[in-house]
Amino acid sequence: MSEKKPGGNDPCRCGSGKKYKHCHMAEDERAEEERTAPALPRSPEYFERMRSVVGPPQMRSDEVGPPRRS
């Protein structure tokens, strides 16, 4: 059983007393867009750009392994 989507002029479901279009409509539309957007494949160039921004992967202190040398 699915809930009926409120119209823009309906009262917002949160009980604020505002119209839905002035309260939660934009947030709901963004969430729906994120749910339905296809996942984009990541190219090797994407990972290289991210590496230049955040640096190489680092071992977390809770991971098991030999200590890293500086």
Question: Total structural domains in the chain?
Answer: 1
Domain that holds residue 13: 9-38
Residue owning tokens 């977390």:
60
25 domain residue, yes or no: yes
48 domain residue, yes or no: no
Is 0.85 topped by the overall pTM?
Answer: no
CB atoms inside a 10 Å sphere around CB 8: 9
Q: Is 1 a residue whose pLDDT tops 60?
A: no
pLDDT digits (tens, 9 = 90+) for 10-27: 999 999 999 999 999 999
31 domain residue, yes or no: yes
2 domain residue, yes or no: no
pLDDT digits (tens, 9 = 90+) for 12-66: 999 999 999 999 999 999 999 888 887 777 888 888 888 887 776 676 666 666 6
More confident residue, 7 or 40: 7
Contact 11, 20 (CB under 8 A): yes
1 domain residue, yes or no: no
